[in-house]
Every structure is written in structure tokens, then in C-alpha cells.
Amino acid sequence: MKVSGKRVVITGAASGIGKALAIAFQAADAKSIVCVDQNITEATIVAETISGYAIEANVGLEKDIIKVIDECNSLISGIDIFCSNAGITGMPGFLDVSTENWQEIWDVNVMAHIFAAKHLLPQMLEQGSGYLVNTASAAGLLTQLGAAPYSVTKSAAISFAEWIKITYGEKGIGVSCLCPQAVRTAMTENGPGVAGVDGMMEPEEVAVEVLNAIETEQFLITPHEEVLEYSQRKANDRDRWIKGMQRLQKQFEDFLTPAK
């Protein structure tokens, strides 16, 4: 799908990858851009920078996603590209993670994608075209050491994006799934941890990859090239892959399980 002239909505647009996407879409001559975030103050600043719009929303709530779609239909007369980019790291570990912690990260990292697709697909199918960009993580392909909720939800996000692509890809609906490793955002401000094993990328670099994927209708976006190689190794011999990950876990054990 050509980005130029399109109506774009980005969640998690107040900072990081979302902010970089907003700026990149403007540079690519998108017709309209809506910045969605719980932090409406920062989202508004980004929107003003690109002559766009800002909407406050908690993407983990279905009613907020419906509100965003309705307001965007009113503000920019429809949606061509929806970047479901907002996400959270959630609680690390597993044994100390409460049911409430699991529900919170599940709502933001998985259900937000589901809500967006559920309520956007009817109008996109009716207009004959539309594009969904779901931000997941390399953790969803490879596993996130030390963080069960993050790993599980990002894996589910990838699976859902793939299902949408399989089911609606030949009906005018484009789908891309973003799976980077460490990116310089608020999530990594205290350091990239294990995810930084192949270096930290800037959000602007990631945004370029996303726009290129939309233009070429590429499903999987892996800004860190090593991720594809790791995925192939995992698919070829999962037992060997798990043993390698166990060795990596021992290497980072002090970081993953800090002393109390």
C-alpha cells in the first residue's frame, strides 16, 4: 500500500516508536495522522509537530478503541492505516506475577490488537482496502528471558496478526507485524538487558522499516537482521535452541534475578 495520501492512526504515539512513526508518515506525505496515547499531553505535542490530531485512550479497553475509531472517522473521514503500536513490559518473572498483572499486560499487548481489528475490519472491507500494523517484539518469536508475561503476550500478538493476514490478506487487507529487539524508548531507558545482545536501535530506524514494509506489503518486520537467523535456528532444532537459551539465561542470571 502506498503511504502517500493515506489516513493514519498510531497508538502509543506520545514517544518512542509511535512518535517516530508519526514523523515518518508525515515525511512520506500521509494525508492525515492521528496520535493516540494515554499521555495526551505528549501525544498532543507530537500531533502539533506534524499538523495532526491527538486522542486520549487506554488501548486495553474495548470502549476506548471504539471511541478512537469513531473519533477518527469524524476527524479524518476514515482510516486507511492503523498502527496498533502501544505496549507495556508488565511484571518481570513468573512466580510473583499476579493474576491482575497478567490481565493488564494481556489487555494492552494482545486485546488492543484484537479490538482494533474487530472494529476496523468491517469498514476497511467495505471500502475495499486497509492496513493493520501490529507492534509485537522479537521476544514473541524467540522468548523473553526473565519475563513470562511479556514473552507470552508478544507471541500471541504475532499469532493473531498472522491469522488476520491469512484470513483477510486476499480481501484487500494488508497486515505487518513489527518484531524488533532493543529499541531506544522509555521501555529501555534503564538499559536494554538481554534484548540488547545485538545492539540498540533508534526508533527512527525502526519507523523507516515499518513504512517500507507497508509499501511492499511485507508481513514480518525484523529491524535487527539477526532475529530471522535465530528464528530459523529455533525452527530447525527446537531442543538445541532451548539449550542455547538456557546457557544465555545462566549468563544473564544476576540481571534476571536481582538479589532482594
d(CA 152, CA 146): 12
**Cα(36)–Cα(133) distance, integer angstroms:** 14
Side-chain half-sphere exposure of 96, counting CA atoms within 13 A: 8
Cα 178 to Cα 60, 119, 245, 258, distances in angstroms: 19, 21, 22, 30
For residue 145, give Cα distances in angstroms to 107, 117, 131, 242: 21, 29, 32, 11
Active site residue 150: yes
| Residue 174 contacts residue 214 (beta carbons within 8 Å) | yes
d(CA 45, CA 70): 22
Cα 118–Cα 211–Cα 59 angle in degrees, nearest 5: 35
Strand ranges, E, within the chain: 7-11, 32-37, 53-56, 81-84, 130-135, 173-178, 220-221
Three-class secondary structure of residue 227 per DSSP = helix
What are the beta bridge partners of residue 37?
Answer: 56
Active-site choice (53, 131, 150, 230): 150
Enzyme catalytic residues? 150
